[in-house]
Amino acid sequence: MTAAVSQHDPKASAALAGHRENDTAAPLMEIRNLYKRFSLSGDFLEQLKFKGGKLVREQEHVHAINGIDIDIRRGEALCVVGESGCGKSTVARTVMGLLSPSQGEIHYDGQRVDHLSAKELLPYRRRMQMIFQNPYASLNPRMTIQQTLEEPIRLHHPDWSKERVRDQVRDVMDSVGIDPDWGSRFGHEFSGGQRQRIAIARALAVDPEFIVADEPISALDVSIQAQVLNLMMEAQQKRNLTYLFITHDLAVVEHFGTRVAVMYLGMVCEIAPTGTLFAKPRHPYTQALLSAIPRLEDDRPQHIRLQGEVPTPVNLPSGCVFHGRCPHANERCRQEVPALIDVEDGARVACHGVEEGRL
Amino acid sequence: MALLEVNNLDVRFALRGGDVRALRDVCFSLDRGERLGIVGESGAGKSVAAFSLLNLIAKPGYIAGGSITFDGEELSGMKDRGLRRIRGNRISMIFQDPMMTLNPVLSIGEQMVECLKAHRRISTREARAISLHKLNQVQIPSPETRLDQYPHELSGGMRQRVIIAIALLLDPDIIIADEPTTALDVTIQAEIMDLLLELCEKHNVGLVLITHDLGVVSQVTQRMLVMYAGRVIEQGPTREIINDPQHPYTQGLINALPQMATPGSRLNQIPGSMPSLSNLPSGCAFHPRCGFVNDANGEPRKACLDKVPGFVDSGNCRVACHMVAELVNQQQRDSREEIL
């Protein structure tokens, strides 16, 4: 409750952020200098080309993540926002170990996990779970709900008795508001909101401490979104969960997030406590993003119009990735990549303009 | 008389288990240059309402009753030949997914010229000139080169601009936009909505905007309809509905938005989910989810369970709800007593 109140009051939220900065507890998840590239050029033979009478090997890459550093603290809900193609889902998948990073390290609870084998990773997999965007695709249509929910428990607790597994399934179904007697039904017999509850139940079934949720409510209707968000907040309080929440919906972030990381073309351009970010966005991209939220209050708001469109992540722009669309870009922005610098209120911004005090 | 008038529109889908009534008793009107929003969750019937205006519902769907009058002409039951004069010409449509609506094997220019030549007897050169002019209007950079490009060469936002240009090509009276920005990012959505709004105002084009996003409706439209399970449950001036919704469902929808709650607090959710159209609850379709179904004595109102609510006027809005009807009657009685 204190967090909720203080987010409304910028001063209190600054104090809270400062308090958190002093918090000596190690973060649950550390992402260090992470890069992820996807090859566009196919296999080795497809990469070979004749050029000027010589056989050369050419490779093209999509630069999905370009050096991000994020700490996720225990008990917080860190939201990652950005537009499509900014690499936010890739971050989620890399953190979960579903993709291996091209460069950089991921530490979970002080242990480096990105280079572990599947077997070594198994104990961590129990502690970190994932919720996907589309509950129509993420539930196996040929398994009953009971089977779907039992599967992860059996995998992680092979020594549990049948009764114990069944009890755990009943408990977890109960906690997400799905009648435990519906276990023999299949996924298609449920509505979208109920399916997403089942997907959440599957994540909670093994008592994780860290949950990565990739756009968990984007596919749902407004009235159902509220139900699922409430459920996720309830679970966070009861089970002391830590969330990495990927979304493009800024209104949800404002409500749900403890801190927010704004991504653009595979880089973090601003990371700040939620209250600070919404009260005082500093990066020009964050400002444009916030001004574009369709709000109920104003009749005709003034959007900050950005020039052009997001460049392709295949050929990254030099310097600051945002310079081509930024109204404040200068020569330095075109050449030098800005680093995240600390500003007041616990916010960190990657912008030369902010650093120089121009903005 | 309004430019477009829809009265008691009834649309059904003939399925094996019997007819499913996708729309019932839908009434609304649109004046020249007016902007109307249709809001609802998926399955509420908002897209069916839009498609049925131009009789674009595919079989097994059919218009079972009601009338659609456009500029004095009756559209429901009109033969395809007659409708073709109107479709794309006087009433044009913008669909949700810009990748699906553009033909991938024709260049942008070919698609625009094709559309112009279908309705007007003009040369290809003239048609190209008009197309270029329209692309300029939607602020596409270097429009001459775009004419010879194919849809896949454009980004999502750019494609939606092309679609808007095509919708404006024949200077229509009304544009029907079905979730025009849902597939786009927030910043692009804001740009496209601004553009659409600007063009509609400039050319005095009416707009029927179908969306699930209350924020967009509140910024763009003057009047709005809220739909639930195939019926309109509330309609009136947008600002009044957003600021002071009367129907419990509209209230629930607005209060469920994260921006209406204190950050971190519990959101006001509507319990349950929208019923399937083939299996509607008796009486008011919203009553199983409604928080106001009980009367002053704590008993469920009999009317809510048995009788489909009709419209009552509440201020400038029309609301289909027994609870609101009771309140309005009470107020009228009170004011009458005051006068006496």
| Residue ranges of domains in chain A | 2-293+301-356
Residue B131's pLDDT band (boundaries 50, 70, 90)?
A: very high
Rg from Cα positions in chain B:
22
Structural domains of chain B, count: 1
Residue B248 has pLDDT above 90, yes or no: yes
Instruction: Give how far B168 is from chain A: nearest CA, Å.
Output: 23
Of B186, B259, B269, the CB nearest to A289: B186
> What distance in Å separates the CA atoms of residue A211 and residue A334, rounded to the nearest whole number?
38
Residue B72: inside a domain: no
**Residues A290, A274: Cα–Cα separation, whole Å:** 12
According to the model, what pLDDT value does residue B299 have? Answer: 86
pLDDT score recorded for residue A292: 87
Sort out which chain B residues have CB atoms less than 8 A from A293's CB and list them.
186, 215
pLDDT at residue number B162: 93
pLDDT cut 90: percent of chain B above it: 57
State the distance between the two ends of chain A, measured CA to CA, in whole angstroms: 34
Q: Does A2 touch chain B (CB under 8 A)?
A: no
> What residue spans of A205-293 are helical by DSSP H?
222-239, 250-256, 274-279, 284-291
Q: Quick: pLDDT tens for B139-196.
A: 888 899 999 999 998 888 889 999 999 999 999 999 999 999 887 888 888 888 889 9
pLDDT > 70? residue A8:
no
- Which residue has tokens 């008038």? B5
Strands ordered across the beta sheet of A29-39: A61-72, A29-39, A103-108, A111-112
- Give pLDDT, residue A14: 44
Which region, left, alpha or beta, applies to residue A207 given φ > 0 means left and ψ of -120 to 50 means alpha? Answer: left
Query: If DSSP codes are grouped into helix, strand and coil, which group holds residue A72?
Result: strand
- Is the separation of the CB atoms in B232 and B58 below 8 Å? no
> C-alpha distances in angstroms, B252 versus A96, A122, A223, A231?
36, 43, 8, 17
B203 located within any domain: no
Mark yes or no for CB contact A296/B191 under 8 Å: no
Rounded Cα gap, residues B193 and A295, in angstroms? 13
Mean pLDDT of A173-196: 90
- Whether the CB of A256 is below 8 Å from some CB of chain B: the reply is yes
> How many residue pairs from chains A and B have C-beta atoms closer than 8 A?
127
DSSP A160: S
Q: Which residues contact A165 (CB under 8 A, 6 or more apart)?
A: A150, A153, A154, A157
Hey, are the CB atoms on A296 and B186 less than 8 Å from each other?
no
DSSP secondary structure, A106-156, as one string: EEETTEE-TT--HHHHHHHHHHEEEE-S-TTTSS-TTSBHHHHHHHHHHHH
β-pairing verdict for B18-30 and B35-39: unpaired
**Per-residue pLDDT band at A17 (split at 50, 70, 90):** very low
Supply the pLDDT for residue A238.
92
pLDDT tens sequence across A102-117: 999 999 999 999 889 9
Compare all CA atoms of chain A with the CA of B241 and give the residue at the minimum distance.
Answer: A296
Q: How far apart are alpha carbons B149 and B153 in whole angstroms?
A: 7
| Residue type at position B71 | D
Closest CA to A316 of A56, A58, A35, A31: A35
When comparing pLDDT for A273 and B80, which is higher? A273
Q: What is the pLDDT of residues A128-170, one digit of tens each?
A: 999 998 888 899 999 999 999 999 999 999 999 999 999 999 9
CA nearest to A2 within chain B: B264
Interface membership of A301 toward B (CB under 8 Å): yes
| Residue B107 within any structural domain of the chain | no
Closest residue to B215, CB basis, from A221, A223, A294: A294
Phi and psi dihedrals of A128, rounded to 5? -120, 130
Asked if A134 reaches chain B (Cβ–Cβ under 8 Å), the answer is no
Domain-embedded: residue B85: no
CA distance readout (Å), A4 to A19, A227, A272: 16, 19, 16
Chain B nearest-CA distance from A120, in A, is 37
- On whether any CB of chain A is under 8 Å from the CB of B296, the answer is no
- Residue-level pLDDT at A11: 44
CA dihedral B260, B262, B265, B267 (to 10 degrees): 0
Rg (CA), chain A: 22
Residue A112's contacts (CB-CB under 8 Å, 6 or more residues apart) are A105, A106
The answer to whether the Cβ–Cβ distance between B190 and A291 falls below 8 Å is yes
Three-state secondary-structure class, residue B274: coil
Which range (A46-55, A79-88, A232-241, B217-226) has the least confidence?
A: A46-55
Q: What length is written for chain A?
A: 359
Per the listing, tokens 């296999």 go with A43
Q: Tokens 């033909």 — which residue? A: B103
In chain A, residues with a C-beta closer than 8 Å to the C-beta of B180 are none
Question: Which residue in the set B185, B215, B256 is minimally distant from A295, CB to CB?
Answer: B215
Q: Which of A204, A134, A197, A234 is nearest to B272 (CA)?
A: A197
B-facing residues of A in 303-332 (CB < 8 A) are 303, 305-306, 308-309
- Is B334 part of any domain? yes
CATH number of A2-293+301-356: 3.40.50.300
pLDDT at residue A332 tops 50: yes
User: Considering only A294-298, B121-125, B145-149, which range has the smallest mean pLDDT?
Assistant: A294-298
Which residues touch B58 (CB under 8 Å, ≥6 apart)?
none
Whether B164 is in a domain gets the answer no
Residue B77: predicted pLDDT: 83
A188 near B CB under 8 A? no
- pLDDT grade for B315, boundaries at 50, 70 and 90: confident
Nearest chain A residue to B242 by CA: give it.
Answer: A296
Using an 8 Å CB-CB cutoff, list chain B residues near A221.
41-42, 212, 273-274
Interface predicted TM-score (ipTM) = 0.82
Write the pLDDT tens digit of every residue in B183-201.
788 888 888 888 999 999 9
pLDDT confidence of residue A300: 62
Cα–Cα distance for residue pair A2/A169, rounded to 1 Å: 33
pLDDT digits (tens, 9 = 90+) for B303-314: 899 999 999 998
In b/e form, how buried is each residue of B239-272, taking b as 16+ CB within 10 angstroms?
bbbbeebbbbbbbbbbbbbbbebebbeebbbbee
Residue A241's SS3 state is coil
For B16-142, where are the alpha helices, taking DSSP H only?
Answer: 46-53, 80-86, 98-101, 108-119, 124-137
A233 — contact with chain B (CB < 8 Å)? Answer: yes
- Output the average pLDDT for chain B: 90
- At residue B278, the 3 state secondary structure works out as helix
Residue B258 clears pLDDT 70, i.e. is over it: yes
Mean pLDDT of B213-231: 92
In a domain? residue B275: no
* A 267-296 → B contacts, CB under 8 A: 274-275, 288-289, 291-296
Closest CA to A70 of A242, A238, A241, A239: A242
B103 assigned to some structural domain? no
CA distance A19 to A37: 37
Q: What percent of chain A has pLDDT over 90?
A: 59
- For residue A274, the chain B residues in CB contact (below 8 A) are 263
Q: Which of B221, B278, B224 is CA-nearest to residue B253? A: B224
Which of chain B's residues have a Cβ under 8 Å away from the Cβ of A294? 189-190, 193, 213, 215-216, 218-219
Distance between CA atoms of residues B273 and A223, nearest Å: 8
Closest CA to A210 of A343, A331, A85, A113: A113
CA A327, A328, A331, A332 dihedral sign is negative
Inform me whether the C-beta atom of residue B297 falls under 8 Å from chain A C-beta atoms: no
Q: Provide the terminal-to-terminal Cα distance of chain B, rounded to the nearest Å.
A: 38
The verdict on a CB contact (< 8 Å) between A223 and B212 is: no
Helix and strand numbers, DSSP H then E, in chain A? 14, 14
Do B265 and A289 make contact, defined as CB atoms within 8 angstroms?
A: no
CB of B16 less than 8 A from some CB of A: no
Q: Which of B29, B70, B56, B68 is nearest to B208 (CA)?
A: B29
Query: In this complex, is the C-beta atom of B277 within 8 Å of any C-beta atom belonging to chain A?
Result: no
What local confidence, expressed as pLDDT, does residue A24 receive?
52
Report the run of H or E that residue B145 belongs to, with start and end: helix B143-147
Give the pLDDT score at A16.
44
pLDDT, average across residues B273-300: 88
**Choice between A270 and A12, residue whose per-residue pLDDT is larger:** A270
Mean of pLDDT values over A318-334: 91
Of the CA atoms within 13 Å of residue A338, those in its CB half-sphere come to 28
Q: How far is CA A143 from CA A151, A163, A194, A334, in A?
A: 10, 20, 16, 53
